[in-house]
Structure 1
């Protein structure tokens, strides 16, 4: 991906969503030619010259201090993940998390796999760069996708979400799942701007899915680590679940995600039924 165009479009779309009145600017008469903040308004709020900001937005800003980037992030009302993404686009490689070589193969430690296997009543998996599924437990296999029969390339949450029709049935709020998927791929692209495999994945999804192409153009950046995740399985019906995601300290590009149900709920009973089925299949 072209870093300059990514930076330009990210800043343009972030400017477009901020109303002048939200940042203390007075609206003047007449129709605005652009939605949100103009470049000169943002430059004023960030305390830089208009010419300097224009060059920055065009990727010609040269050395830009962290203080200036933080001032721009504050003026744009960016969240923490978005702020980090802005820093990554301007200073590739200087990310919050140390970047492993994008072409290197990620490995899940045996101890982490053992943790997955002990979670008999909680679907869990480990996701790596580009949303590749690196490891899973039996309940995740039953509930989300039959990972063992998929090719390594297809064990990918983005491909499953946009290219597999089953995902639209399994995720009750498919739109939210899709939005989160695209937003995280943006985060990953910012952390690893030179990852050609990720670029190829994005190109593939953009070609194959109109939904992905439309969402990617929004330049939304988000990395959610917990929340609600209602799912559906044809054997047990709807499952009102929540999820928690934990970064792996020695490889922050890996994350363990666990789905949980409230104790005594119908969702908890449904997970136990699916877990029993997984055990039966394992003995066959």
Structure 2
């Protein structure tokens, strides 16, 4: 996923500069796109014939800043530190590699990192499962990152029919860019949407002010959304529509820029969603995601409430309301 550190530009004599363009990204830095940029963030510099993986370096620096000496058992003896988080040499020590070698990795100068080295760095940075997968994705050789589907996603009719046939829970069909591709009536009503709307859920989260009233903890949900997009960008580094989405969100939302700069990563998995719904009040629902077998970039997301709970009763009420003719089913305007 894009890093917003512009880094050091290669000399003007290098031909790659003829293809680079800069787009301002308020609050994050300079957004740079080039022939190897993969989401416009200087994914790879080419300098004197050498490619630099700056996305990897940006992720490592951000995660290094998350850790304090106390987190890893280092004594500071009350001394003041000039940098936030851990120093490069401290991560190198924890990973069991030389400081010089780790510095080269952060600078994007090593492209054939072994699995064992990446695992050692992941251990040193205290990465969780999603962080480890993202680290592996970022560290893949450039030559292996090819063939992402670049166009808008479409859903097979039978998957759409399956989602619409489910009546006892809310259902969405979501793509890897967080495009809402389909669902049932209750699914649209749960997020206060009209059934004919197909918004991108990340745009809806960060660029539509009404969502701040819908989610009980908007900051948590916004952080989760950005983490999903960061994970997706590591899996789809050559997706131009995903690149454009991230650029648009960064330019249009200071909150997105702030969260994105911290490099959160998370896979789309089970979660709890708490809502303040305009029709039925407070709801707490569980999300379960199923991968579409022949379209692994798409997920069927089902929302359910604990049986017998107040949320379950309110979900039933919402289902009854949107099933009756003439009942409003949500606004039509969205990002």
- For the 8 Å contact 2:148–2:238, the answer to whether it is kept is no
Please identify runs of 4+ aligned residues in structure 1 that moved more than 6 A: none
Indicate which of 255, 271, 278 corresponds to 1:234: 278
State the partner residue of 1:90: 139
The unaligned stretches of length 5 or more in structure 2 are 1-39, 44-52, 329-335
Which of the numbers 150, 167, 174 marks the counterpart of 1:120? 167
Q: Distance in 2 between matches of 1:57 and 1:204?
A: 27
| Native 8 Å contact 2:151 2:241 kept in 1 | no
Once the two structures are TM-superposed, the CA of residue 213 in structure 1 deviates from its matched residue by: 1.1
**Alignment check: 8 A CA contact 1:171 1:232 kept:** yes
C-alpha separation in 2, matches of 1:128 and 1:224: 11
Which runs of structure 2 are paired with 1:35-46 in the superposition (5 Å)?
Answer: 35-46=84-95
Asked if the contact 1:180–1:223 (Cα under 8 Å) also holds between the matched residues in 2, the reply is no
- The whole-number CA distance in structure 2 between the counterparts of 1:100 and 1:194 is 8
Residue 28 (structure 1) shift: 4.5
Displacement, 1:93?
7.4
1:105 offset after TM fit, Å? 3.9
Helix, strand or coil at the partner of 1:182: helix
Whether the 8 Å CA contact 1:124–1:139 is kept in 2: the answer is yes
Asked whether 1:138 is paired with 2:185, we answer yes
Q: Which has the higher helix share?
A: 1
Greater shift after overlay, 37-46 or 244-253? 244-253
More strand by share: 2
Question: 2:324 is paired with a residue of what secondary structure?
Answer: helix
**Aligned residue in 1 for 2:201:** 157
- Residues 100, 113 of structure 1: alpha-carbon distance in 2 compared, 3 angstrom cutoff: farther
Residue 7 in structure 1 maps to residue 56 in structure 2: yes
Within 1, Cα distance between the matches of 2:64 and 2:327?
Answer: 57
Q: Once the 2 structures are TM-superposed, how far is the Cα of residue 23 of structure 1 from its aligned partner?
A: 2.5
Q: Which residue of 1 aligns with 2:23?
A: none
2:28: which partner in 1? none
Q: How large is the RMSD of aligned CA atoms in angstroms?
A: 2.4
Please state how far the C-alpha of 1:46 moved relative to its aligned partner: 1.2
Matched position secondary structure for 1:219: coil
Show the counterpart of 1:167: 211
Tell me the TM-score normalised to structure 2 length.
0.77
Pairwise CA distance, 1:217: 0.8
Query: Would you say 1:33 and 2:107 are equivalent positions?
Result: no
- Does the Cα contact within 8 Å between 2:285 and 2:303 map onto a contact in 1? yes
Instruction: Select 2:242's aligned residue among 180, 193, 198.
Output: 198
Unaligned runs of 5+ in 1: none
What is the CA–CA distance in structure 1 between the aligned matches of 2:275 and 2:143, rounded to whole Å? 37
Task: State the partner residue of 1:77.
Answer: 126
1:50-61 matches, cutoff 5 A: 50-61=99-110
| Structure 1 residue 241 displacement after superposition | 1.6
SS in 2 for 1:176: helix
Specify the alignment match of 1:246 in structure 2: 290
- Report the CA distance between 1:282 and its aligned residue: 8.1
Counterpart secondary structure, 2:302: strand
